[in-house]
Structure 1
């Protein structure tokens, strides 16, 4: 870790300068040698870095959503050119270029803040070794070594020996308890951040390997941070815990205000929006109008959640407009009521016995109608019955079945004279 941190030594001067400026501010409030002054300086450094990385975070969201949409097409390309890896790569690059998607955009925030992370680690390691670094002179170095967060020095690690911890003016038990609690909180925040992304902000209509990969990362990342955390100084744990909490809050805001289409979060968001429109009779807020505008522009390409929202507006007698507003519309009410009436008028499914009985009744009714409708003429007189006896033991099979089943009643042939 020290070797990697030394690679980013070029950025230690600006990182140390920012920390010293914040320390001057908080030192005037809490005292220059307190853990609050130095701890809040690190927290403020994280907040400043994350604010500067907001544009990259927006790109990350767009890239992640584009990757989710492209997963079915990517899978089709892999199946089609599975024997030609070069052609497969060419088609993948062509697909990325046509859709303007960059697979690396989802990693940009992490890659961008990595130099600051390692630079801070380098600064805290120098403080633990009692070495001046950047703009931190000897007086600031002594102040930082005296600063403790809940009894643990900023430069102490979970794996440090008792002698090294005592040199920083603390006990090994305090250091390990504080670092263990911070490692658990850091891993938990990472797990919760990934979990809310998978359970609320993923298109449920698309089942792709990408979702399985994200589920694996949901469990793997916290374990990685837990293992690495035992080698981080307390100050670095403060940094990483703060950035995880920031990411969790930032993602929660995005999920609530700009959810992924087709996700559970979109269903909840459009439900709240419909309730707001019901209460106020209009779309309030530019962000909400832009949401309605996007739904209207999709036309027939809307997903089921968006169609449900449009239907809910129609039941209120409102129609969404292209500019994101809503207006009263009698046609929308008629369409909504007509659709509901059609759904109510659908016949229920009958059993096989009910269909058989109904068919028998219909055929009997047709026979009755035809017999009543035909006029009786001299040519249509009843033909005399044949007196020739029929051989015994061969009754009409159809008549016997009908008589036994009782489903159809009609004229029966007379019995043989010998059986009377």
Structure 2
């Protein structure tokens, strides 16, 4: 691993040394302030470099939220065919230009620097040179204490090892426990801020359930692994959590997810300030609804006599309609009876007194 991460050891140690030189102008070069602030500055440099990836993460997360209903439909349709389900999912990602792994880019990009810092602090604790840190700088870093705990000490270190770093086991464990709690709490509130303010709650999707689970799982993971982290790594991770919280708060305030609570609050503020440009279609629909409400007449309250008269009038209209319908039915039946012989192919009977045909002139009778 040292061979693979060697360049990162050099990069991380070089950044720390440069900031240490800067802070040594203000603080004692062997103090925890000089070395601790150097680690904090390392985090800031890395997070500024990762801002483009963070923007991609935000876009990818929103795209995944928007695709959840379609993904759920695909899973229901092809629940018995895993291969077809995967093919349809990949097709959906390709059509929408969504990469499901983009949301993990900032964490993945930070991981090598995190591992490099971890190894650098381990080398410092052992008194070994690493990267651009020569023996003088290594000894200076070993003597640096943050609130009484050496930056290279860990919660699980033995008393002898902590004593060799010039501290007591109680000081180290108290400081590490407080920093682990702060680290876990910052992680929890960062995820909670995302779930309560920047998620469209009108659509219930499996993605929301996953995010809710991560809100509780991540702090526990950090608490468990934190006891094996050196104090300097805890400083690094606490700083990056605070940075993430502030950065996320800025994004939620400036560009919240449509349909989320933060989005509705922002729309209300812009509307109150007169800065919200409403959609013309929405404005027209709103005007039509208001006009319909204005023109709508409430039914007048009638007295008992008026109600009885209205009921009698309605009954009279019904009777007239039935009578007209009966007359029409009678006429239709008569017409049907008259037309029946013709429909049966028979000649209509002629009435009495009607000539059957042309009559011949009568001759005078013979006498």
Shorter chain as normaliser: what TM range? 0.7 to 0.9
User: For 1:167, which of 164, 189, 197 is the aligned residue?
Assistant: 164
Report whether the alignment pairs 1:230 with 2:227.
yes
Q: What is the rounded CA distance, in whole Å, between the counterparts of 1:360 and 1:97 in structure 2?
A: 70
Report whether the alignment pairs 1:366 with 2:308.
no
Q: State the match for 1:142 in structure 2.
A: 139
Q: State the match for 2:253 in structure 1.
A: 256
**CA distance change for structure 1 residues 173 and 82 in 2, over 3 Å: closer, same or farther?**
same
Q: What is the rounded CA distance, in whole Å, between the counterparts of 1:46 and 1:184 in structure 2?
A: 19
**CA distance change for structure 1 residues 33 and 66 in 2, over 3 Å: closer, same or farther?**
same
Report whether the alignment pairs 1:83 with 2:80.
yes
Report whether the alignment pairs 1:181 with 2:178.
yes
Q: State the match for 1:129 in structure 2.
A: 126
SS in 1 for 2:101: helix
Q: What is the rounded CA distance, in whole Å, between the counterparts of 2:124 and 2:23 in structure 1?
A: 19
User: For 2:32, which of 21, 32, 35 is the aligned residue?
Assistant: 35
Q: State the match for 1:47 in structure 2.
A: 44
TM-score by length of 1: 0.70
Question: Is the Cα contact below 8 Å between 2:181 and 2:223 reproduced in 1?
Answer: yes
Structure 1 unaligned spans of 5+: 278-282, 301-306, 312-331, 372-420
Question: Is the Cα contact below 8 Å between 1:5 and 1:121 reproduced in 2?
Answer: no
**CA distance change for structure 1 residues 346 and 211 in 2, over 3 Å: closer, same or farther?**
farther
> How many residue pairs align between the two structures?
315
Structure 2 unaligned spans of 5+: 320-367
Question: Is the Cα contact below 8 Å between 2:198 and 2:261 reproduced in 1?
Answer: yes
Q: What is the rounded CA distance, in whole Å, between the counterparts of 1:215 and 1:112 in structure 2?
A: 24
Q: What is the rounded CA distance, in whole Å, between the counterparts of 1:148 and 1:255 in structure 2?
A: 37
1:158-209 deviation digits (Å, cap 9, x = unpaired): 1111111111001111111111111001000000000010001001221101
Question: Is the Cα contact below 8 Å between 1:186 and 1:241 reproduced in 2?
Answer: yes
Structure of higher RCO (CA pairs closer than 8 Å, 6+ residues apart): 2
Q: State the match for 1:152 in structure 2.
A: 149
Question: Is the Cα contact below 8 Å between 2:6 and 2:131 reproduced in 1?
Answer: no
**CA distance change for structure 1 residues 183 and 223 in 2, over 3 Å: closer, same or farther?**
same
Describe how 1:14-413 pairs up with structure 2 within 5 A. 14-277=11-274, 283=275, 292=277, 296=279, 336=286, 338-343=288-293, 362-367=310-315
TM-score by length of 2: 0.80
Give the C-alpha shift of residue 365 in structure 1: 3.9
Q: What is the rounded CA distance, in whole Å, between the counterparts of 1:14 and 1:358 in structure 2?
A: 94
Q: What is the rounded CA distance, in whole Å, between the counterparts of 2:26 and 2:105 in structure 1?
A: 36
Give the C-alpha shift of residue 362 in structure 1: 3.5
Q: What is the rounded CA distance, in whole Å, between the counterparts of 1:198 and 1:348 in structure 2?
A: 45
Q: What is the rounded CA distance, in whole Å, between the counterparts of 1:104 and 1:359 in structure 2?
A: 71
1:273-328 deviation digits (Å, cap 9, x = unpaired): 11222xxxxx4xxxx8xxx5xx74xx87xxxxxx5xxx5xxxxxxxxxxxxxxxxx
Q: What is the rounded CA distance, in whole Å, between the counterparts of 1:347 and 1:117 in structure 2?
A: 71
Q: What is the rounded CA distance, in whole Å, between the counterparts of 2:169 and 2:230 in structure 1?
A: 13
Q: What is the rounded CA distance, in whole Å, between the counterparts of 2:199 and 2:55 in structure 1?
A: 17
- Larger CA Rg, structure 1 vs 2: 2
